[in-house]
Every structure is written in C-alpha cells, then in structure tokens.
Amino acid sequence: MRKTTPSQDFIRGIWKENPVLIQMLGLCPALAVTNTVKNALAMSAATFFVICCSSILISTCKRFIPNEVRISAYILVIATFVTLADMMLQAYAPVQHKELGAFIALIVVNCMILGRQEAFSAKNNVFRSLLDAIGTGIGFTIALVMMGGFREILGTGSFMEISLFGPSFEPWVIMVLPAGGFLTLGFILLFMGYIEQRKKTKLEEAEAVEASS
C-alpha cells in the first residue's frame, strides 16, 4: 500500500474515493432513504456516528483481535454501535426514526463501514483511522444529501419541506418512488462519466498539440 499523509486520508473519502458515487458501496441506504433531504440527513448522521465509533474502537483493539475471526469481530462492533444509534434516534428524533424504520438496523450490513474497517482501521493508528472515518462519513453525507436534494426538489417541488416553485409546479412523482432512486443515481453517474471523458479528451488534445510542435 502506498504511504499517505493524514490529510490525504481525510480528503480521499470525500470526493476522490467517495464511497457511494465512486466505489458503489452502501447503495442500499443511499437509494432507499433519499426521498427527502431530512431522511437523508438523519441516515447520514446515524451512519457517521457508527463509522467513527467503530473505527476508533477497532483501531484501538486491533492487536487483540485474532486474524481468523476479525470479520465477525468487526461486524459485532458495528452491530453494537448500530443498536446504540437506533436507540438514540428513537429517543431524540422519533419522527425520523419512524420514517427510516428498518433501514437504521440495516446500517449493520452497509458494506461501506465494514470495508473501511477491513481496509484501513485494521492497519492504521487511531488518529488516522478516525480521520479516514470522518472523511468517508462526509463523503457519504454529500452523496446522500445530493440525491435527497434532487429527488425532493423534483419529486415534491420543495427543499427541506419549504416550497420552492409555488402551486403551479407539477411534481415528478416518479422521483420520490423507488424507480426515481435508481434513475437519480444513474444520471449522476452518467454526468460524472461525461466529465471524466471530457477531461480525458482535453488531455489527449493537449498531448497531441505538444507532440506536433
């Protein structure tokens, strides 16, 4: 593995290796709960809490976890924090808890969290694991809020329940339905592919100009 600086650990998860948009991990919550921005925020907050806490705990205890049972040990740690997050949401934000329902429990099986533990926390110290977890958590939040924003604005014509377009707006109901989740993420990916391709052609053109001169 290439050596990275702490700041790189932090930045990497936010955009360049964004868990949802680039690595396609944790798609399940990203698609299921992003029909409104509020749900997306609640989901991101819970996931953020779980990934940070488990990163701290696992990078601290990595010396005591036998290699053969590490995956099960990680899953147990994550499950414990998910239970905590579930209880806290139930106590402090009962409306959101009801809206998200089973998807809070499903944070346990979010591949993104387990992936970060296995790929990073198991090999690095507490400080850098925490930075990595925060970066990944922010990246996840950005992706979720972006999708939630698109879907809520187009699907209901409002943002955070504030109406944007007035009564004459005809909502695109499809965007808040499950199909809209797939389509939104699909179009975001297509757009990113377009940018990537344009960058590549520009680079090639620049090289061609350099070669000819």
Applying CB under 8 A, the residues found at the interface with another protein are: 24, 27-28, 31-32, 71-72, 75-76, 79-80, 82-83, 86-87, 101-102, 105-106, 108-111, 114, 174, 177-183, 185-187, 189-190, 192-194, 196-197
Which of 8/83 has CB closer to another protein? 83
Is 203 exposed, middle or buried, given 0-12, 13-18 or 19+ CB atoms closer than 10 A? exposed
To another protein, the closest distance from the beta carbon of 110 in angstroms equals 8
Instruction: Give the residue with the Cβ less far from another protein, 61 or 71.
Output: 71
With respect to another protein, which residue has the nearer C-beta, 165 or 187?
A: 187
Contact (CB, 8 A) for 22 and 16: yes
Task: Name the residue with tokens 């990680």.
Answer: 74
Q: Angle at which helices 70-92 and 37-61 pack, to 10 degrees?
A: 140
- Asked if 133 contacts 55 with a C-beta cutoff of 8 angstroms, the reply is yes
- Among the listed residues 85, 129, 90, the one whose alpha carbon sits nearest the alpha carbon of residue 110: 85
Q: How far is the CB of 122 from another protein (least distance, A)?
A: 16
We find the least distance from the C-beta atom of residue 114 to another protein, in angstroms, to be 6
Question: Cβ 63 to another protein, closest distance in Å?
Answer: 23
